[in-house]
Amino acid sequence: MGRRDGLAVKALVWKPKDSCSTLKIPCMPDAQSPSLSSEENVKLFGKCNNPNGHGHNYKVVVTVHGEIDPVTGMVMNLTDLKKYMEEAIMEPLDHKNLDLDVPYFADVVSTTENVAVYIWENLQKFLPGGVLYKVKVYETENNIVVYKGQ
Task: Give 48-84 pLDDT, tens digit per residue.
Answer: 666 666 677 888 889 888 888 889 888 888 889 889 9
- Percent share of the chain, pLDDT over 90: 26
User: For 82, how many CA atoms within 13 A lie in the half-sphere containing its CB?
Assistant: 7
Segment (H or E) for 80: helix 78-85
User: What pTM value is reported for the model?
Assistant: 0.70
**Cα–Cα distance measured from residue 144 to residue 59, given in angstroms and rounded to the nearest whole number:** 9
* C-alpha pair distances (Å), 37 with each of 34, 40, 71, 91: 7, 5, 58, 33
- 6: phi > 0 → left, psi -120 to 50 → alpha, else beta; which? left
Does the pLDDT value for residue 13 go beyond 50? Answer: no
**Cα–Cα distance measured from residue 115 to residue 133, given in angstroms and rounded to the nearest whole number:** 16
Read off the pLDDT band of 148 (50, 70, 90).
very high
Q: Among all residues, which ones are annotated catalytic?
A: 48, 95, 139
**Cα–Cα distance measured from residue 19 to residue 134, given in angstroms and rounded to the nearest whole number:** 10
